[in-house]
Amino acid sequence: MEHLHSRLEAGVATITLDHADKRNALGAAMVEGIVGALERFEAARARAVVLRAAPGVRVWSAGHDVDELPESRRDPLGWDDPLRHLVRRIENFPAPVIAMLEGSVWGGATETVFACDLIVAAPDVSFAVTPAKLGVPYNVSGMLTFLNAGSIRVVKELAFTARPMSAARAEQLGLINYVVPADAIEAFTYDLARGIAELAPLSIAVMKEQLRILSGAHPMTPQGFERIQGLRRVVYDSADYQEGIRAFKEKRKARFRGE
Ligand code: YXS
């Protein structure tokens, strides 16, 4: 795929996002490429995966491809949405996936990064959670990804302000593992990955799966789930949702009316 590169060396795999024109937006084609690479690396029994963008990017990923979000009256983040596939594939991959970050990370890309097992960021990195900026009703498992990454107070700050959070603050809050100078981040990340690759892969795989199952073990009643789905439908059927998508495409600030 022209906007994605992948390689496997000594048990350490690398997937590089390289679609600068669209700021590495996570559209169906890009997600299909990443998931395909992960399938190949699982078959090749990779011991660790580094997920990165091309060196020196200002934007690691601009998040879900807004051009692929439904205009209205359809759940924009249903089970089969590409972004949902990507998050699940990372969570189910039987070896650690390490996000190596430079530049800004937006929306669904922030969730994708938080679904990774380890996060190494350059000092210029920022994270933004953007559903409120676009009028999007985020989905339950996506909110759980955020909740598993940090405290509910921090998730509310990210979600309710939609403001980018610096790598330094994210590290201070325990949202990410390391902040490493840009000129050292590659050596640092691959040293981490190679160290993991020398350890017992079966032990690591089972611990990763245990943590996935335990972190997803949140009781929710059928009524509770149906209530949330009903609330989400009100949002994606709303004029605000249409305004958010339209404003993005028209490159202007959205004017939300709460209806
Ligand atoms: O005008 P052209 O054709 O050159 O295209 C522009 C942008 O439209 C395009 N682009 C995107 N296309 C689809 N989906 C996107 N998420 C997206 N982001 C950007 O890329 C071309 C260059 O963009 P431009 O001129 O704005 O670049 P820039 O360097 O000045 O600014 C970079 C960003 C990332 C600050 C800016 O592009 C931006 O704010 N992008 C949107 C970030 C965002 O809000 N992402 C959330 C997407 S929705 C999502 O992830 C979830 C559904 S949710 O929101 O619920 O979390």
CA of residue 88 to ligand 1 center, whole Å: 23
Q: How far is CA 27 from CA 93, 109, 119, 217, in A?
A: 20, 11, 22, 29
For residue 55, give the nearest of 192, 221, 189 by alpha carbon. Answer: 189
Active-site annotation, residues: 64, 108, 138
Q: Which pLDDT belongs to residue 71?
A: 86
Query: What is the CATH number that goes with domain 4-197?
Result: 3.90.226.10
- Nearest residue CA, atom 11 of ligand 1? 22
| Distance between first and last Cα of the chain | 41
| Pocket lining for ligand 1, CB < 6 angstroms | 22-23, 25, 59, 62-67, 104, 106-108, 130-131, 133-134, 136, 138
CA of residue 210 to ligand 1 center, whole Å: 35
- Nearest residue CA, atom 53 of ligand 1? 131
Return the half-sphere exposure (C-beta side, CA atoms, 13 A cut-off) of residue 209. 10
Q: Which atom of ligand 1 is nearest to the CA of 58?
A: 29
Q: Which atom of ligand 1 is nearest to the CA of 136?
A: 55
DSSP lists the bridge partners of residue 8 as 13
* Tens digit of each residue's pLDDT (9 = 90 or more) over 36-53: 999 999 999 999 999 999
pTM of the model: 0.98
Per-residue tens of pLDDT for the chain, all 259 residues: 779 999 999 999 999 999 999 999 999 999 999 999 999 999 999 999 999 999 999 999 999 999 999 988 899 999 999 999 999 999 999 999 999 999 999 999 999 999 999 999 999 999 999 999 999 999 999 999 999 999 999 999 999 999 999 999 999 999 999 999 999 999 999 999 999 999 999 999 999 999 999 999 988 999 999 999 999 999 999 999 999 999 999 999 999 999 9
Task: Give the 3-state secondary structure of residue 51.
Answer: strand
CA of residue 219 to ligand 1 center, whole Å: 35
Q: Which pLDDT belongs to residue 194?
A: 98
Ligand 1 test: best mutation among 19, 57, 106, most atoms within 8 Å of CB? Answer: 106
Beta strands 12-17 and 4-9 are antiparallel
Q: Which atom of ligand 1 is nearest to the CA of 106?
A: 45
Q: Which pLDDT belongs to residue 73?
A: 87
Q: Which pLDDT belongs to residue 2?
A: 79
Q: Which pLDDT belongs to residue 54?
A: 98
Sheet hosting strand 4-9, strand order edge to edge: 4-9, 12-17, 48-53, 97-101, 118-121, 178-179
